[in-house]
Structure 1
Amino acid sequence: MKQNFTVRQGALDGVEAFLSVAQHRSFRRAAAELGVTPSAISQAVRVLEARVGAALFIRTTRSVGLTEAGERFLSRAKPAFEELVAAGEVARGLGQRPTGLLRLSVPRAVVPIVLEPLIASFCEAYPEIEVEIAASEELIDIAAEGFDAGIRMGQFVDADMVAVPLTPPFRFIVVGSPDYFASRRRPKVVDDLRQHACLRWRRSNGAIAPWSFNDNGRAMEIAVSGPFIANDFPTMLGAAFKGVGLAQLPEPMVVEGVKTGKLLHVLERFAPVMPGVFLYYPSRRQTMPKLRAFIDHVKSRK
C-alpha cells in the first residue's frame, strides 16, 4: 500500500541559520549576513539541534567548528537548500513575467481557423514562452491533465470555467460537393435529409451527435443516417469534399470551399447559430503571466 508522506511543520526552521554559521564559522557574521541578532541565530541553531537530536557545532570562546553530525548534515542540507532557493526563483520568475511552457488543449478544427494566425505573432512577441498545442477532440479535465487552458466551442465549456471569446458566434451549415449533387436533388426542408447520405460526428463520450436546426426561432434536432462517421470535423470536411455525403459543419471551416464552388450550401434558412469558439481556463485569483500574455495577445488581434 502506498504511504502518504508529509513534511513535518517547521522541518526547515533553522536550516538557513545553520548553513550561514557553517559557512562563516561565526554566529556573529551569520547574524550580520541574515540581518538578525546573534542571539536569534543561536536560538535557531539550538532549536535545530534539538529537533535533529545531535549537536551540530563545537563552540569555544574563540571559534566555531562542525561536529561529525554537523559535517554530515551540511553535506546533505546545503545542496538541498540551494535547490529549494533555486526552485523559488524559478517559480517567482514564472509568476512575475511571461515565460515558461504554455500548454493548450484544442480540437483539430480550431488550429487552422483560430490558432495558426495567432501563434507566429505570439511567439515573436513573447520569445520566452514555449507554446505546446495538443489537438484532441476529447473534453478533458485541463487542470488534471496539466494544461494551462483549453479551446472549445462555447456549448462545450463548463460553467465553472473562465471563458474568453476567440471568435464571434457562427452558423452551423449543411454542405455537399457538386459531385454529390450531380445525381441527387438538393434538400429544400429539413425532412428531405431522410433521402440523403449524411456524415455524422461521434462525440468524445461515444454518442452520435444529432444535427441541429432553427425553424423560425424554434430549435430542433434530428437523427440523420449515412455511410460515414468521424470523431472530428476536419475528417468530415474531407469526406464532404470527396462527395461521400452531406456534412453539417461550422461555417468558418467551409466558407472557402463554398466561395470556390467546391462545396454547395443547402438548407441555409434553417442554419442554427452557435456561440463561437472560446479560450477557457480554471477560475483562479491569479492568472499566470504566460496565459495572461496569450489572452491579451488574442484580444489585441481582434
Structure 2
Amino acid sequence: MKNSVSPDDLSVLLTVLREGGFRAASRRLGIAPSNVSATVTRIEAQLGTPVLRRTTRSLHLTDAGQLLVDRVRPLLSALEAACHEVATLGAQVQGRLKLNVPGAVMPDILPSLLAHYRARYPNVEVEIVVESGLIDIVAMGYDAGIRYGSVLEQDMISIPIGPRRQQMVCAASPEYLEARGVPQTPEDLTAHDAIRYRLDDGAMLPWVLQNKGRSVRVEPKNALILSVGALNTGLKYAQSGLGVIHTFHNWIGDDFDAGRLLPVLPDWRSELDGPRLYYPNRFTPAPLRAFIEICQGES
C-alpha cells in the first residue's frame, strides 16, 4: 500500500523531532545524516504529503505531520517500552532514563537520588530536561516527570520524591538589612526590594507567609524578576545585596551558617507539599522501574 509506513521509519522521524535535527538524530541512531533525510523523504512519498518544513536553521511539522506524530508517538512509545521491559526482565538494567523536572528539584533533591541510582545502575544514561509547566511526558518522549502539586492525567501514577513537606523562608544579606532596616512584620516587606520568580505562564510566584494559623500574602517591590527555571540562582543575587528573597529553607541553611544571608521574619514561613514523580501506569521500562525503587527506598 502506498500509505503504509514502517514503524522503523516512523521511529526515525520521531527521533529527528526529539533531537531537534537530522544530524543530532543521526548521532543518536548511529546512522548517516543522509539516511535520516532519505527516511523522512520516503515517509513523505509513501503518504503523498510533506510532514516536515525544512529551512537551513530549523524544521517544523506540517499540519499533516503533526497529525501523524500525535497519533503514532504514543503507540510507538508503548511498543518500545513493552519490548524493552520484556528484554530486560531479569537482566542487567541498562538503557536511558529521561526525566522532565522543575528547577526546584535540581540543587538538592535529585543529586543524592541520582548518585545512588548511578552507583547501582552504571549502564543507564540519565537525561534531565528542566521546565516548570506540566507536560504530556508520553507524547514528548520522557519516561517520567517531577512536579509540585500538579493535576495529573488519569492514566498517570505519582509517588512522593524527596521531602514530603517543604518550607519557604525569607532572607537577605547583612549589608542589605543594615542599609534598609530589618522588617518586623510581613507588611513591612512591601517597602523592601524583592528578588521574585515568574512562572512560564506569566504569573509571579506568590509570597504567602504563615504563622500560628495566620496567613498573609505580601506584594513587595520587585527589584529583580527571574524565570522560575533559574530558581536556585536567586541566592547569589540575594548574597550580593539586591534585596529580600523568598526561597526553600533546605537551600539556604549553609548561607545562614556562614553569615552570607540572615533570616528575615524567621517566625513566618510558607509550607507546601513536596514534589512527586509521575509516570504512565503501563509499560514501565526497567531503568524507570529501578529509579522508582530508589525513590521509594529513600522515602
Tell me, yes or no, whether TM beats 0.5.
Answer: yes
1:1-20 maps to which residues of 2 (within 5 A)?
Answer: 5=4
Question: How much has 1:252 moved relative to structure 2?
Answer: 1.2
Matched residue of 2:242: which SS?
A: coil
Aligned to 2:261: 263
- Contact 1:137 1:231 (C-alpha < 8 Å) held by counterparts: no
Aligned to 1:46: none
Match of 2:107 among 91, 102, 112: 112
| 2:201 partner letter | N
Matched residue of 2:194: which SS?
A: coil
Distance 1:89 1:276 in 2: 33
- Contact 2:85 2:286 (C-alpha < 8 Å) held by counterparts: no
1:36-75 maps to which residues of 2 (within 5 A)?
Answer: none
How large is the RMSD of aligned CA atoms in angstroms? 2.7
- Contact 1:163 1:281 (C-alpha < 8 Å) held by counterparts: yes
- Say yes or no: does 1:299 pair with 2:296: yes
Match of 1:163 among 158, 164, 167: 158
> For residues 208-252 of structure 1, what are the alpha-carbon distances to aligned partners after superposition, in whole Å with 9 as ceiling and x for unaligned?
222111243244433332210001311222211111111111111
> For residues 66-115 of structure 1, what are the alpha-carbon distances to aligned partners after superposition, in whole Å with 9 as ceiling and x for unaligned?
xxxxxxxxxxxxxxxxxxxx999656315665332110112233222012
Question: How much has 1:172 moved relative to structure 2?
Answer: 0.8
- Contact 2:82 2:285 (C-alpha < 8 Å) held by counterparts: no
Aligned to 2:125: 130
> For residues 273-292 of structure 1, what are the alpha-carbon distances to aligned partners after superposition, in whole Å with 9 as ceiling and x for unaligned?
1111222223x144322212
- Contact 1:152 1:279 (C-alpha < 8 Å) held by counterparts: yes
Aligned to 1:229: 225
Q: Tell which deviates more after alignment, 113-122 or 213-222.
A: 213-222
- Contact 2:101 2:147 (C-alpha < 8 Å) held by counterparts: yes
Q: Tell which deviates more after alignment, 284-293 or 228-237.
A: 284-293
Structure exhibiting the larger radius of gyration computed from Cα positions: 1
Aligned to 1:23: none
Aligned to 2:202: 206
- Contact 2:198 2:225 (C-alpha < 8 Å) held by counterparts: yes
| 2:279 partner letter | Y
Question: How much has 1:128 moved relative to structure 2?
Answer: 3.1
- Say yes or no: does 1:143 pair with 2:138: yes
- Contact 1:106 1:133 (C-alpha < 8 Å) held by counterparts: yes
Distance 2:84 2:164 in 1: 38
Identity %: 33
Distance 2:133 2:238 in 1: 23
- Say yes or no: does 1:246 pair with 2:235: no
- Contact 1:180 1:243 (C-alpha < 8 Å) held by counterparts: yes
| 2:165 partner letter | P
Question: How much has 1:144 moved relative to structure 2?
Answer: 2.0
Q: Tell which deviates more after alignment, 133-142 or 271-280.
A: 133-142
**CA, structure 1 residues 172+88, in 2 after alignment: closer, same or farther (shift >3 Å)?**
closer
Gaps of 5+ in 2: 7-79
Distance 1:90 1:156 in 2: 29
| Structure 2 length-normalised TM | 0.66
Question: How much has 1:141 moved relative to structure 2?
Answer: 2.6
Matched residue of 1:256: which SS?
A: helix
Matched residue of 1:227: which SS?
A: strand
Distance 2:183 2:3 in 1: 63
| 2:146 partner letter | I
